[in-house]
């Protein structure tokens, strides 16, 4: 994948691991992904989503016709990941110039590129354009 070539550290993750390396990683992270752990994270996810909806409501109240959805979803994603995975409580959605967010954007450009990403994106676009053709 393109992420392997651009970021050698990403190639060591569970998504790219094979054989014994995958087995070792999987045994280590399986303890982090239990039902109890997910329940603990849900309150954080609700709170972050509520802030996101508040921001959209504020923009609507101001009469904003267009928003930069890409930028807003980047901030939302950063809050989800930092809070849910690392326990870092920050309101990146209200502080888009936060140094941590800016550093992450510089470190991870182009990681979602390549063939796999294009296939996943096309399938998603197809589902949205032709929902009647997709039956889960």
Higher pLDDT, 17 or 121: 17
In tens, the pLDDT along 14-56 reads 777 778 888 888 888 887 778 887 787 788 888 899 999 999 9
- pLDDT at position 3 is 45
Q: Confidence class of residue 131 from pLDDT cuts 50, 70 and 90?
A: low
| Cα–Cα dist 16/19, whole Å | 10
Distance in angstroms between the alpha carbons of the first and the last residue of the chain = 27
Residues 111 and 7 sit within 8 Å (Cβ to Cβ): yes
Residues 6+ apart with CB under 8 A from 81: none
* pLDDT tens, residue by residue, 65-120: 888 888 888 899 888 888 877 777 888 899 989 888 888 888 776 655 556 555 55
Residue 13 has pLDDT above 50, yes or no: yes
> 19 or 58: whose pLDDT is higher?
58
Please give the pLDDT value at position 100.
86
How far apart are the C-alpha atoms of 20 and 45, rounded to whole Å? 33
Most confident among 4-13, 14-23, 124-133 (mean pLDDT): 14-23
66 token code pair: 């267009």
Going by pLDDT thresholds of 50, 70 and 90, the confidence category of residue 2 is very low
């Amino acid at each position: 994948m393109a992420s392997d070539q651009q970021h050698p550290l990403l190639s060591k993750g569970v998504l790219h691991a094979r054989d014994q390396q995958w087995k070792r990683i999987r045994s280590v992270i399986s303890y982090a992904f239990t039902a109890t752990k997910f329940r603990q994270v849900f309150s954080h996810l609700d709170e972050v989503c509520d802030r996101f909806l508040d921001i959209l409501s504020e923009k609507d109240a101001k009469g904003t016709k267009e928003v930069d959805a890409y930028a807003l979803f980047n901030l939302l994603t950063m809050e989800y990941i930092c809070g849910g995975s690392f326990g870092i409580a920050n309101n990146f959605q209200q502080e888009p110039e936060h140094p941590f967010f800016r550093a992450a954007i510089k470190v991870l450009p182009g990681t979602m590129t390549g063939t796999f990403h294009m296939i996943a994106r096309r399938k998603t676009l197809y589902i949205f354009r032709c929902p009647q053709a997709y039956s889960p």
